[in-house]
Structure 1
Amino acid sequence: MKILYITMLSFILNFTANCQENKNSFNYVVKANIKKYNLESNLAFENKDSEKGQILFDSLVSNHLIGTTFEDYTLKGFDKKKIKLSSFKKPLFILTYASWCIPSKGEIPALNKLAQKYAKDVQFVMLFWDKKHSVKKIARKFSHNITVCYANESYKNDANIVANLKHTLGFPTSYFLDQNLKVVNIKRGGAQPDKKSTYVKAYTMNYNAFREGLGSLLIDKNITKEQLTTN
């Protein structure tokens, strides 16, 4: 009877710990808040109020998602067949995209430059919501410092990551995670320069937009503000 009691107590404690851990997971928290966010965001979109839409997104991130923990997803990469997020052993910058979305002017060069500059401190990952053959052409445009991966509903074992990331916050979306996969920040993709912007202006806008997010990861690396703002 004593052995049974100890076994049951151990089970209860483990179950309670798992419940608490799950409540702090990104998946749990985003699902708990996404319905209300979508209702308000869709209304802002219908009213063509992009400023309100951004405020709603920033509020969801700052009030609920920062501090949650990502699942240790297994991604499909071109160089390696399977890559677990935890295998990178350093902070992560994950940008979700799709091949049918045309990157803004200067966006890929800006990412390549940042990846070259901060590769020792941050792992850059481009995650496309595509099948492998659809990503091959655009994947060649990214620096070797950026790990290009892909996931699609039709692929085995991809349903979970697609549901938790693509079908919640959409894309392009930038996720900034520490080395323990804890969410430090989440932002939309790069900048959105207008069609009249010169290449230099568009490149600079994108560079600064992505670098701002990276700043939250680089603080723990003792990188000074002066170093961070040097191109």
Structure 2
Amino acid sequence: MRLMLLLLLAIFTFQPAKSQEKPVLFRDAIKDNIKKYNKQSDAVYENGDIQKGQELFDSLVQNHLVGSKFDDYSFKSVNSRKVKLSKINRPVFIITYASWCIINKGEISALNKLARKYDDEMQFIVVFWDQKSNMKKIARQFNGKIKVCYANESYKNDASVVATLKHTLGFPTSYFLNSDLEVVDIKRGGIAIPPKTPVKKAIEMNYTVFDERITNFLSIKDEIPVRQVLASED
């Protein structure tokens, strides 16, 4: 009996180290899959197949990006100190814009309403790919529930976020992250608002689309599978 116990102890003592699972970083998931996606999407968009292009984007998101770990960025804020994602400690909704692009009619007002509605459940962050000097006027259009930030190639510390977000998935793009900064969903663009649509109607249309996305996000934020890679222990 004693010999058997010693044998079992020896087996467990000298057993090779088991592999350890680590989450896939969002920037690595983008790096590994963006070239293939761009090649495929360029081809379908050249043929005018908008629906197929959207399907390719959705496939990239669901099959490769959902469940990855978002980088812990520190965004420069227009009206406050830097916004570090890991210090928010609740779900985050990030939407990216550029000040030289016209934002959908009614979209800002819709986001303001939604930020007030979901203030206790998530943090709204707007990121403009621009310099601070161009931001103050447009930042005034957003209410205090939304953190208005900016990032630009000309700022040394912004190289990573610009390369990973702006130059890959484009803008406007919405990122839905749970409180652990895991990607729950990503949506690109908004909705087409006919030019003569009354402002009140445009706000309602934008509100409906974003509210549906946010409701779905909050319902699944804790249920997504974490995308992982295997890394051997030392």
TM-score, normalization: structure 2? 0.82
Once residues 147 and 167 of structure 1 are traced to their aligned partners in structure 2, the CA distance between those partners, rounded to angstroms, is 22
Asked whether 1:60 is paired with 2:29, we answer no
Q: Tell me the equivalent position of 1:226.
A: none
- Rate the CA distance shift 1:131–1:107 in 2: closer, same or farther, 3 A: same
Asked whether 1:201 is paired with 2:201, we answer yes
Q: Which amino acid letter does the alignment assign opposite residue 33 of structure 1?
A: N
Relative CO higher for 1 or 2, CA cutoff 8 Å, sep ≥ 6?
2
Q: Which amino acid letter does the alignment assign opposite residue 205 of structure 2?
A: M
Q: Which amino acid letter does the alignment assign opposite residue 207 of structure 1?
A: Y
Asked whether 1:178 is paired with 2:178, we answer yes
- Displacement of 1:25: 1.0
Q: Tell me the equivalent position of 2:47.
A: 47
- The unaligned stretches of length 5 or more in structure 2 are 1-16, 223-234
Once residues 221 and 145 of structure 1 are traced to their aligned partners in structure 2, the CA distance between those partners, rounded to angstroms, is 21
Q: Tell me the equivalent position of 2:122.
A: 122
Q: Deviations over 1:18-38 (max 9, x none)?
A: xx536x111111111101111
Select between 73-82 and 161-170 the one with higher mean Cα deviation: 73-82
Once residues 57 and 34 of structure 1 are traced to their aligned partners in structure 2, the CA distance between those partners, rounded to angstroms, is 10
Q: Secondary structure at the match of 2:148?
A: strand
Q: Tell me the equivalent position of 1:82.
A: 82
Select between 51-60 and 200-209 the one with higher mean Cα deviation: 200-209
Once residues 40 and 64 of structure 1 are traced to their aligned partners in structure 2, the CA distance between those partners, rounded to angstroms, is 15
Asked whether 1:21 is paired with 2:22, we answer yes
Is the 8 Å Cα contact of residues 76 and 149 (structure 1) preserved in structure 2? Answer: yes
Which structure 2 residues correspond to residues 131-170 of structure 1 after superposition, within 5 A?
A: 131-170=131-170
- Displacement of 1:64: 1.0
Once residues 39 and 117 of structure 1 are traced to their aligned partners in structure 2, the CA distance between those partners, rounded to angstroms, is 40
Higher strand share: 2
Once residues 125 and 147 of structure 1 are traced to their aligned partners in structure 2, the CA distance between those partners, rounded to angstroms, is 5
Q: Deviations over 1:23-82 (max 9, x none)?
A: x11111111110111111111221122111111111111111111110101110023232
Alignment length, in residue pairs? 206
Q: Secondary structure at the match of 2:184?
A: strand
**RMSD, matched Cα:** 2.0
- Displacement of 1:197: 2.6
Once residues 198 and 46 of structure 1 are traced to their aligned partners in structure 2, the CA distance between those partners, rounded to angstroms, is 33
- Rate the CA distance shift 1:221–1:152 in 2: closer, same or farther, 3 A: closer
Select between 81-90 and 30-39 the one with higher mean Cα deviation: 81-90
Is the 8 Å Cα contact of residues 78 and 135 (structure 2) preserved in structure 1? Answer: no
- The unaligned stretches of length 5 or more in structure 1 are 1-12, 223-231
- Displacement of 1:220: 6.4
Q: Tell me the equivalent position of 1:106.
A: 106
Higher helix share: 1
Is the 8 Å Cα contact of residues 185 and 216 (structure 1) preserved in structure 2? Answer: no
| Structure with the greater alpha carbon radius of gyration | 2
Once residues 192 and 49 of structure 1 are traced to their aligned partners in structure 2, the CA distance between those partners, rounded to angstroms, is 17
Is the 8 Å Cα contact of residues 175 and 186 (structure 1) preserved in structure 2? Answer: yes
Once residues 125 and 79 of structure 1 are traced to their aligned partners in structure 2, the CA distance between those partners, rounded to angstroms, is 12
Which structure 2 residues correspond to residues 200-219 of structure 1 after superposition, within 5 A?
A: 200-219=200-219
TM-score, normalization: structure 1? 0.83
- Displacement of 1:208: 1.7
